[in-house]
């Protein structure tokens, strides 16, 4: 099992193209842990903004009466990918992992796979 800081450091060191990561409480919008990979992102602003994305998606799924869980949310920019992955373990309820990637260096499929693995090892 890995603590939040260790999990984010692992994401930054093992996921090619990672430029920032955070563990976020989407009840409050606060980042509980962040690791900046020199991408120039304000990860606290990213945490708050992506909380709005997460809440909107949850609200929409509720209105559509969808009973499925969100595996991840992907936002593609011209130079970056942003991944939002809600934690599924009971202890991680209300939290999500956020990962920003340099699109030119990242392999999106591998990043999603590795982020899922990191989530499985995360102890909150």
- 4-121: which CATH architecture? 2-Layer Sandwich (3.30)
> Digits of tens for pLDDT over the chain (124 positions)?
788 889 999 999 999 999 999 999 999 999 999 999 887 899 999 999 999 999 999 999 999 999 899 999 999 999 999 999 999 877 678 899 999 999 999 999 999 999 999 998 888 8
| CA gap 44, 59 in Å, rounded | 23
The order of strands in the sheet holding 80-86 is 30-36, 18-25, 95-102, 80-86, 73-76
| CA gap 1, 44 in Å, rounded | 25
Cβ distance 100 to 50 under 8 Å?
no
Angle value at C-alpha 116, between 8 and 18, nearest 5 degrees: 45
């Amino acid at each position: 099992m890995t603590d939040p800081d260790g999990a984010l450091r692992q994401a930054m060191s093992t996921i090619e193209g990672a430029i920032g990561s955070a563990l976020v409480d989407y009840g409050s919008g606060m980042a509980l842990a962040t690791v900046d990979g020199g991408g120039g992102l304000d990860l606290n602003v990213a945490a708050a903004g992506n909380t709005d994305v997460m809440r909107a998606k949850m609200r929409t799924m509720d209105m559509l009466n969808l009973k499925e869980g969100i595996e991840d949310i992907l936002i593609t920019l011209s130079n970056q990918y942003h991944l939002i992955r809600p934690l599924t373990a009971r202890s991680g309820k209300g939290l999500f992992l956020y990962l920003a990637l340099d699109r030119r260096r990242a392999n999106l499929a591998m990043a999603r796979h590795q982020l899922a693995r990191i989530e499985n090892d995360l102890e909150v």
